[in-house]
Chain A
C-alpha cells in the first residue's frame, strides 16, 4: 500500500499541488474551464443560434430561410389568432396543472414532513422518487393504457356504475373529447401525474425545515389545527410551493409528447415548435415560438423568486 503510494506520488505531483495551493484563483479557474467551455459553447451557443434564427423569416414561395434580420416571424407568432390561441391554451393548462399539483402535493408533503415515522418517511421518499425518475415515455404510455376506451379506468368506473358520469363529463365543451385518452381532461390528469413529484419533494423539504416548536406554539396560543394550517404552515410552505411550481409550470409549458400522445385536437406550444421545425420545415417560426415559453418562464421565475423559491430549490 505504502509502496504503491510512494510510486504513485512522484515529486512533480507535490510540486504541482503546492503550485496550485498557492494560487487558489488559478486552481478554481482550471477546474472550471472544461465545464464552462462545454456549457458556454454547446449550450449558450445553441441558445444564441436559436435566438438568431427567430429573427429570420421563411420565404413563402421557395420555402427557404431568408437570412436577413426581421421581426416578421415574431409578429406572426403574436398576431395570428391561431397562434395566440395555442399560447393561451398552453398557459391555461400550465396554470391548472400547477394548481392541481400543489393541492395534491400539500397533504402528502405535510404527512411526510410532520407525521411519518422515519421508516415511513423513507418509504414515501423512495415511493415518490422512483416513479419520478422512471422512464418518461413508459409513464406516458402507461397512461394511454389506463385512459384507453376499454382501458382500466373505464372498466373501473363501469364496475362501480359511474360510466354515465364519465360520459357526461366527456360531453362537456372545453374539457371533453371522444374518450378520456383524447380529451383535455385526460391530458390534464397525465400532466398532473407526471410533474407531481417535482412539487412534493421541494414542498416536503420546505415543511421539514419548519421547526416543530412553531406549530406547538401556535397550538399553545389556542389555535385550532385548521387555524394553525392557514396561519402558520401554509405561509411557511410558500417557498417550497414556489420552487415546485417552477418545475410544474415550466415542464407543462414546454412539453410536446404528452399533448401528442394523449391527444386532444388543439395544439400546444411544444407541438407547434416540433411540427414547425420538422414537417413544416419552418425553423425560424419554430425558433420564434420557442422564445414564448422562455419569456413566460422568465416572468414566472421572477415572480417565484419573490416568493423565496430559490432558497427552497
Chain B
C-alpha cells in the first residue's frame, strides 16, 4: 500500500483560532477515510488544505509522496464534492459534468461521451440537458459526484456530502457511495459530524477535536478501544468514569487516578438487593430519567456520590420495575471497561 495523502505537522490559523493544530496523518491509497468531529473541530479546513483552497501556516502536505503545499488547486490530482454542491447555474447538467474535461482541452466529442458515461454511473443520464435548479437535492448531489469523478482523480474529497439529504435518501447514498468507492478504487476522504455514518462507511476514522486528531483507528477499534474521554463520549456516547468514583470502583489497583469508559448497553440494571459476583464493578443510584427508544430504553441514573450514568436495557417485561425515582444497582463486567488516557481524560472535563 502506498500513501495517498500525508500531513506533516500541519497548522492553520484564522486570526487567533487554531483551526488545524499540528496534525500528523497518513491516508493510504484506495482507502475510505473519514474525518469525524463536532462542528468547528477543523475537518473542513483539513479538506480545504488537501484541495489547495488554503495554504498551511506551517507543516507540509504530500500527495503521493510529492509535496503539494505550494501548488494551486488546479495542479493537484484531487477533486472535491462540495457541501452545497457548487453546481454552476449557467451550465446544463452535462456541461457541469464535462467542465473538468473542457478546461483540460479534451475534444468536444470526447467530453460529451465521457460526461454521459459519468452521468450513467450515477443514474442521471436522462437529466443531462437540464439545469441544476431543475433537479432535486439528491440528484444535485449525484451530479456533483459525477463532476468530481470525471477527471479520475487519485483522491476524492467529500465535505458532509449527505448533510442536506433526508434520512432515507442519506441511507441509500451511504450504500451507493461505499459501492462506488469499492468499484473505482479511488481514495475517499469523507468529512462528517455523524458518528454513525463514519462508523458504517469508513475503513479508518480520524476523530477531530479543536483542530487536533484525538484518535485514528478503524471503526471497531474506535468503538471498542477509545483512547480518550472525548472519543469515548463522541463515538457511541459512552459513560466516562474518573476521579474518586473510578478509584473506588477499580479497587485502588493503580496509583495514578484511573479513568475509564463503559458503554450504556454493557451496564446491567438490577434491584439493589441483588448480590454481586466478584468480577464485576457495581454501584447504586436512583433513576432520574427514562427515555424510550423502541428496541431499548435508556436510563439516567444519579449515583449517591452525585455522578450521572446512562444505562441502556432492552425493553422487557421487567421494564415496569424501573421508573423515575426507583433505586437501582448498576453493574458491568470488567471486560466491558475501556481504560482511557488519564491526561486527556482530565482536560476534557
B106 at the interface (CB under 8 A from A): yes
A1 at the interface (CB under 8 A from B): yes
Question: What DSSP secondary structure best describes chain B's contact surface?
Answer: loop
List the A side residues contacting B105 at CB < 8 Å.
Answer: 2, 5-6, 9
List the B side residues contacting A2 at CB < 8 Å.
Answer: 102, 105-108, 111
List the A side residues contacting B72 at CB < 8 Å.
Answer: 17-18, 21-22
Q: Mark A7-48, 1 if CB is under 8 A from B, else 0.
A: 001000000011001100000000000000000000000000
The 6 closest A-B pairs by CB, nearest first: A6-B105, A21-B72, A2-B108, A1-B108, A2-B107, A18-B72
Task: State whether A18 and B108 are in contact (beta carbons under 8 Å apart), knowing that A2-B102, A5-B102 are contacts in the complex.
Answer: no
Choose from B75, B102, B107, B111 the contact partner of A18 (Cβ within 8 Å): B75
Q: How far is the CA of A127 from the CA of B72 in the complex (A)?
A: 48
Q: A31 → chain B, closest Cβ, in Å?
A: 18
B70 at the interface (CB under 8 A from A): yes
List the A side residues contacting B70 at CB < 8 Å.
Answer: 22
Please count how many residues in chain A sit with their CB below 8 Å of the partner chain's CB atoms: 10
- From B70, B103, B105, name the one whose CB has the most chain A CB atoms within 10 angstroms: B105
A168 at the interface (CB under 8 A from B): no
Q: How far is the CA of A22 from the CA of B75 in the complex (A)?
A: 12
Given contacts A2-B106, A2-B108, A5-B105, 5 further A-B contacts (CB under 8 A): A2-B111, A5-B103, A9-B105, A18-B75, A22-B70
Q: How far is the CA of A3 from the CA of B108 in the complex (A)?
A: 8
From 67 to 107 in chain B, residues with beta carbon under 8 angstroms from any chain A beta carbon are: 70, 72, 75, 102-103, 105-107
Q: How far is the CA of A17 from the CA of B107 in the complex (A)?
A: 23
Q: Could you give 19 example pairs across A and B, Cβ below 8 Å?
A: A1-B102, A1-B108, A2-B102, A2-B106, A2-B107, A2-B108, A2-B111, A3-B107, A5-B102, A5-B103, A5-B105, A6-B105, A9-B105, A17-B72, A18-B72, A18-B75, A21-B72, A22-B70, A22-B72
Q: Mark B35-47, 1 if CB is under 8 A from A, else 0.
A: 0000000000000
Q: A3 → chain B, closest Cβ, in Å?
A: 7
List the B side residues contacting A5 at CB < 8 Å.
Answer: 102-103, 105
Q: Mark A239-272, 1 if CB is under 8 A from B, else 0.
A: 0000000000000000000000000000000000
Q: How far is the CA of A2 from the CA of B106 in the complex (A)?
A: 6
Q: Mark B273-305, 1 if CB is under 8 A from A, else 0.
A: 000000000000000000000000000000000
Q: B76 → chain A, closest Cβ, in Å?
A: 12
Q: B75 → chain A, closest Cβ, in Å?
A: 7
Q: A15 → chain B, closest Cβ, in Å?
A: 11
Q: B92 → chain A, closest Cβ, in Å?
A: 14
List the A side residues contacting B75 at CB < 8 Å.
Answer: 18
